[in-house]
């Protein structure tokens, strides 16, 4: 509490400092705005012709010349894409105010219809937020470029109400919006829905996308009928860079380092012998694999000291031809980043003790070394035939290759032995999206637009290899290091979408009021293929004795059975098709000058079909699933004045189950086998209400205050179901209704060269699901029963906060940003056992970025992430002291609050640095 009080005091001091704006005698000051939009033109150069003094328009939209001698002066105003302007001013005593409006360059408007200065800046983002029909948050390319983040996933954490799930490398991967986890969110690229490379689910790993490809990042927290309906939590739209009004060339190159490797080397493995196809794929499903089919080169590790990270990006765009009707842009990004993670993890037993007291069978010390190679390409070609017709072709490709080494040592003294496990994993994921779009203005009050798109997503983990050897804690000359088993896994999946969109817009008067009718629809045909195969090998017995481990190159393996190398049919190999047909009608009616109503109905019909390789006669071996959803929505927007809005929104949305959740089989997890539930699982629907007050006082300033409520029907959660005498399986099920509600605040304020961007979100959710509880029955036998438990939704944090302090001096070409993110505790993993959910402890992350321009077109920049080296901590909400009193309990390190909880995992990702050079034409 004391720390929070100090932070509050510091924040108030900052605000008090920024709000104090002194006035000086004999000063010339004023604002510069767009004559059409009335927006402030930040960065405008204002020059006093007679003295040569120059001042830029600051972040608050004003310029200021101090200590000016009395007299008459000529002020010259210049900014790209606007007509230059001059103004006379006579300076006497006190302050002389000169406010000017600048007209956009008419020539450029006639040639391209684009004003370059409106592209990708914060004030444009605020205008889009203010004018949007739905509740919208936007981060502009300008803000993205100056932020400490280089991937879209990490940028997402800067949006109000958004937290991120991180991968084992510490990088952001999946967003959580207002406590709604990734299954309730959809992702678009330029308004087109894209498929997922995930091997089980629909959600998009946003760390695939380099952030520098974006023109802006849009997060819609409410829906209208013209939007995709499967977004209970919200919609993320990645708007890629567009063809510019005039020639554009940007190049950046950077290098950096992660301090995780200051105390240990980066460990890499040989990738040359990895075969992308399993033996059964190369030689046929009846092939009986031999040990020689599994080379061990990828289990040989070498050390790399002081590994260096590199990034490179280039963007070129221009308009060509007569009247510059042809627009072109090509943007590319390459990132090669090496990260490390030192982790301690207590592996729980498959079943807890009596009264659900946890038991731990291993204390794992894990060391991760991961190399992430990220490629992104964005290409946009558009042709403007005339003012009424335009065609665009947009192609986006992203790929992420992760090479991960994991070295694990089990240091719990079970029989005084240590298990040492090594795992090599190469995973590559990619998404390609191509869309042809047409925009046609048939008349002044009638428009038609359409899109044809093809998208594909791929995921592959070829030959994931791991092996174990076991040795005594107290090594002696006679003690042995014994070779244990080896597993090899191949998995890959692909997802292809063909989609067609069409929308008609008609404007007319209804009862004397402006009315716009929009009707349209989409058809999307999806095909998904999934493959999974694993091989388990055991050490060869030497003279009927266990095999001693000396090195993996000397290890000798075999299969237990003579046909152990054959593949058994399993449901993880399946084909899945999904056809979605959607149509909508949407109307916008200006009831008064201040009140606008928007609403309508969207209907989505879903048809799903799957086939598996399970044996004939298996229940639900193949399946057909169909359903239709009616999704009404309505928004009332009331303009209090030109800068203030009130919005009241309602929408109904759905969430379709993940692909693997509809397949009657699954993979074996560390504790439970997982399986789908095609017969008993329903899709999720929700009713959502939002109310927001909006204030846009000037320039990029804003104040947003809102509340939200979600009533979720048939939420999907996993539960342990008894599938045998002593076995249980994790199966997705629907659990009645869940509720999620909260409050959200966003504050942005600029004071001359300084700025504050802050947001806070409070969220509460509640869901009741069935859990297992272990107890001793009247006969004295250990048994288990089903017991209901009420808890928050997985991933929901009660408190989320962001604070960014900004300094921007256009005259010096100097930008600084310090960004702080607070994420409250949340459930990271839902346990099938009562009271044993894994909770992530609150996290605080501090990042920093800086940029300095020089020689007009160059700048040097730096980014620092995780300055405070905040650990990732998982804990159980059970007393550690009570755990110690249970039979067989072993002391566990890391414990800081033994009366309240048990810490079961602690990861450190360390601080990373990046320094680079940027060129802009």
Residue 185 lies in a domain: no
- Averaged pLDDT for residues 391-411: 95
Q: How far apart are CA 722 and CA 728, in angstroms?
A: 4
Check residue 725 and give its pLDDT.
56
Tell which residue, 171, 175, 332, 345, has the closest CA to residue 258. 171
- 109's enclosing H/E stretch is helix 106-112
3-state SS class at 721: strand
Q: Which H/E stretch holds residue 640?
A: strand 622-641
Whether 474 is covered by a domain: the verdict is yes
Map tokens 């006497």 to a residue: 92
The H or E element containing residue 14 is helix 2-19
414-434 pLDDT, tens digit per residue, is 567 889 999 999 999 999 999
In a domain, 29, yes or no: yes
Is residue 471 a part of any domain in this protein?
A: yes
Distances (CA, A) of 151 to 297, 396, 669: 32, 15, 30
Burial 333-356 (b: 16+ CB within 10 A, else e): bbbbbbbbbbbbbbbbeebbbeeb
Contacts for 281-288: CB closer than 8 Å, 24+ residues apart: 281/490, 281/531, 281/533, 285/567, 286/566, 287/565, 287/566, 287/567, 288/563, 288/565, 288/566
Is 342 a domain residue?
yes
Residue 815 lies in a domain: yes
pLDDT, tens digit, 9 for 90 and up, residues 665-717: 887 766 667 889 999 899 999 999 999 999 988 767 889 999 999 999 999 98
Asked if pLDDT for residue 642 goes beyond 70, the answer is yes
Residue partners of 132: CB distance under 8 A and separation at least 6: none
pLDDT in tens, 152-186: 999 999 999 999 998 888 888 999 999 999 999 99
How big is the chain by its Cα radius of gyration, in Å?
A: 30
CA 175 centroid distance within chain: 4
Q: Determine contact, residues 382/366, Cβ cutoff 8 Å.
A: no
Query: 408, 421 in Cβ contact below 8 A?
Result: yes
Q: How many domains does the chain have?
A: 2
Q: What is the mean predicted confidence (pLDDT) over 639-661?
A: 94
Select the more confidently predicted residue: 9 or 591. 591
444 belongs to a structural domain:
yes
Average pLDDT over residues 88-98: 89
- 263: CB partners within 8 A, 6+ apart: none
What rounded mean pLDDT belongs to the chain?
89
The whole-number average pLDDT for the span 524-541 is: 95
pLDDT band at 479 (very low <50, low <70, confident <90, very high): confident
Residue 618 lies in a domain: yes
φ, ψ of residue 62 to 5 degrees: the values are -120, 155
Helix (H, G, I), strand (E, B) or coil at 519: strand
Q: Which of 104, 126, 144 is the last residue of a domain?
A: 104
3-state helix, strand, coil in the chain (%, to 5): 10, 60, 35
Q: What DSSP string runs through 111-123?
A: HHS--GGGTT-HH
- Average pLDDT of the segment spanning 895-915: 94
Instruction: Give me the mean pLDDT over the 33-38 stretch.
Output: 76
Residue 633's CATH number: 2.40.170.20
Span 797-842, pLDDT tens digits: 999 999 999 998 888 889 999 999 999 999 988 888 999 999 999 9
| Of 35, 219, 31, nearest in space to 115 by CA | 35
User: Which of 76, 104, 132 delimits the end of a domain?
Assistant: 104
What is the value of pTM for the model shown? Answer: 0.88
Task: Encode burial over 15-42: b for 16+ CB neighbours within 10 A, e otherwise.
Answer: eeebeeeeeeebbbbbbbbbeeeebbbb
Range of the domain at 48: 24-104
Of residues 654, 554, 568, 557, the one with CA closest to residue 603: 654
β-bridge pairing 27-34 and 95-97 = parallel
Alpha helices in 356-515 (DSSP H): none
Which of 80, 104, 128 is at the close of a domain?
A: 104
What pLDDT sits at residue 415? 61
């Amino acid at each position: 509490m004391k720390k929070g009080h100090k932070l509050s005091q510091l924040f108030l001091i900052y605000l008090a400092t920024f709000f104090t704006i002194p006035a000086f005698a004999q000063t010339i000051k004023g604002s510069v705005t767009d004559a059409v939009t009335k927006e402030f033109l930040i960065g405008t150069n204002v020059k006093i012709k007679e003295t040569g003094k120059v001042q830029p328009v600051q972040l608050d939209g004003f310029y200021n010349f101090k200590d000016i001698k009395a007299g008459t002066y000529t002020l010259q105003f210049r900014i790209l894409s606007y007509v230059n302007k001059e103004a006379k001013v006579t300076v006497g005593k006190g302050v002389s105010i000169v406010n000017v409006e600048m007209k956009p360059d008419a020539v450029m408007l006639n040639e391209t219809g684009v004003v370059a200065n409106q592209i990708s800046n914060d004030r444009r983002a605020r205008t889009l937020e203010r004018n949007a029909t739905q509740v919208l948050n936007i981060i502009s390319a300008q803000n993205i470029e100056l932020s400490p983040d280089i991937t879209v996933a990490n940028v997402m954490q800067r949006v109000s109400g958004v937290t991120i799930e991180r991968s084992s490398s510490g990088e952001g991967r999946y967003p959580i919006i207002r406590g709604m986890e990734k299954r309730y969110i959809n992702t678009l690229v330029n308004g087109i829905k894209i498929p997922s490379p995930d091997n089980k689910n629909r959600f998009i790993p946003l760390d695939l996308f380099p952030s520098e490809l974006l023109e802006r990042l849009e997060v819609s927290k409410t829906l209208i009928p013209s939007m995709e309906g499967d977004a209970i939590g919200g919609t993320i739209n990645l708007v890629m860079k567009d063809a510019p009004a005039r020639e554009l060339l940007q190049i950046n190159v950077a290098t950096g380092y992660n301090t995780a490797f200051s105390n240990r080397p980066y460990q890499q493995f040989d990738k040359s012998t990895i075969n992308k196809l399993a033996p059964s794929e190369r030689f046929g499903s009846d092939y009986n694999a031999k040990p020689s089919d599994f080379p061990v080169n990828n289990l040989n590790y070498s050390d790399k000291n002081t590994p260096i990270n590199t990034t490179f990006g280039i963007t070129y765009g221009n308009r060509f031809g007569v009247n510059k009707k042809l627009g072109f842009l090509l943007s590319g990004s390459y990132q090669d980043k090496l990260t490390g993670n030192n982790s301690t993890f207590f592996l729980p037993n498959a079943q807890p003790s009596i009264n659900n007291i946890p038991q731990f069978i291993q204390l794992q010390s894990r060391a991760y070394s991961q190399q992430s190679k990220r490629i992104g390409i964005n290409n946009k070609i558009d042709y403007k035939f005339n003012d009424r017709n335009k065609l665009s072709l947009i192609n986006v490709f992203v790929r992420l290759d992760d090479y991960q080494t994991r070295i694990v040592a089990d240091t719990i003294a079970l029989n005084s032995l240590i298990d040492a496990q090594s795992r090599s994993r190469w995973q590559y994921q990619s998404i390609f999206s191509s869309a042809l779009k047409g925009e046609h203005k048939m008349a002044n009050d009638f428009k038609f637009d359409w899109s044809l798109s093809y998208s594909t997503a791929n995921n592959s983990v070829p030959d994931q290899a791991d092996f174990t050897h076991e040795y005594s804690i107290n090594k002696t000359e006679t003690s042995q290091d014994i070779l244990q088993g080896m597993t090899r896994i191949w998995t890959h999946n692909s997802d292809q979408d063909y989609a067609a969109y069409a929308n008609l817009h008609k404007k007319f008067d209804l009862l004397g009021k402006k009315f716009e009718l929009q009707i349209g629809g989409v058809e999307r045909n999806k095909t998904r293929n999934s493959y999974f195969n694993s091989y388990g090998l055991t050490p060869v017995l030497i003279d009927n004795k266990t095999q001693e481990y000396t090195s993996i190159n000397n290890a000798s393996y075999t299969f237990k059975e003579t046909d152990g190398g054959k593949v058994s049919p399993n449901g993880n190999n399946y084909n899945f098709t999904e056809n979605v047909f959607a149509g909508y009608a949407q109307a916008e009616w200006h009831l008064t000058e201040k009140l606008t109503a928007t609403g309508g109905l969207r209907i989505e019909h879903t048809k799903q079909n799957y086939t598996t390789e399970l044996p004939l006669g298996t229940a639900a071996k193949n399946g057909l699933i169909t359903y239709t959803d009616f999704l009404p929505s309505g928004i009332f927007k009331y303009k209090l004045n030109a800068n203030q809005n009130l919005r009241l929104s309602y929408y109904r949305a759905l969430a379709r189950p993940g692909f693997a959740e509809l397949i009657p089989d699954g993979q074996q997890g560390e504790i439970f086998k997982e399986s789908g539930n095609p017969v008993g699982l329903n899709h999720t629907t929700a009713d959502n209400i939002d109310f927001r007050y909006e204030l846009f006082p000037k320039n990029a300033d804003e104040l947003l205050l809102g509340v939200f409520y979600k009533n979720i029907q048939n939420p999907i959660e996993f539960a342990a179901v008894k599938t045998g005498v002593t076995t249980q399986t994790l199966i997705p099920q629907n659990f009645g209704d869940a509720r999620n509600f909260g409050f959200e605040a966003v504050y942005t304020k600029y004071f001359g060269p300084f700025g504050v961007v802050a947001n806070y979100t409070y969220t509460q959710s509640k869901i009741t699901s069935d859990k297992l509880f272990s107890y001793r029955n009247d006969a004295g036998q250990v048994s288990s029963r089903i017991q209901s438990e009420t808890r928050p939704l997985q991933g929901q944090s009660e408190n989320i906060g962001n604070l960014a302090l900004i300094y921007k001096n256009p005259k010096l070409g100097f930008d600084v940003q310090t960004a702080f993110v607070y994420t409250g505790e949340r459930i990271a993993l839902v346990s099938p056992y009562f009271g044993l959910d894994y909770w992530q402890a609150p996290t605080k992350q501090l990042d920093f970025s800086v940029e300095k321009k020089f020689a007009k077109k160059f700048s040097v920049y730096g980014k620092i992430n995780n300055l405070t080296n905040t650990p990732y901590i998982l804990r159980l909400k059970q007393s550690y002291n009570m755990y110690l009193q249970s039979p067989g309990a072993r002391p566990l390190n890391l414990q800081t609050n033994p009366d309240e909880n048990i810490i079961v995992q602690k990861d450190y990702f360390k601080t990373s640095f990046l320094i680079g050079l940027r060129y802009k034409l």
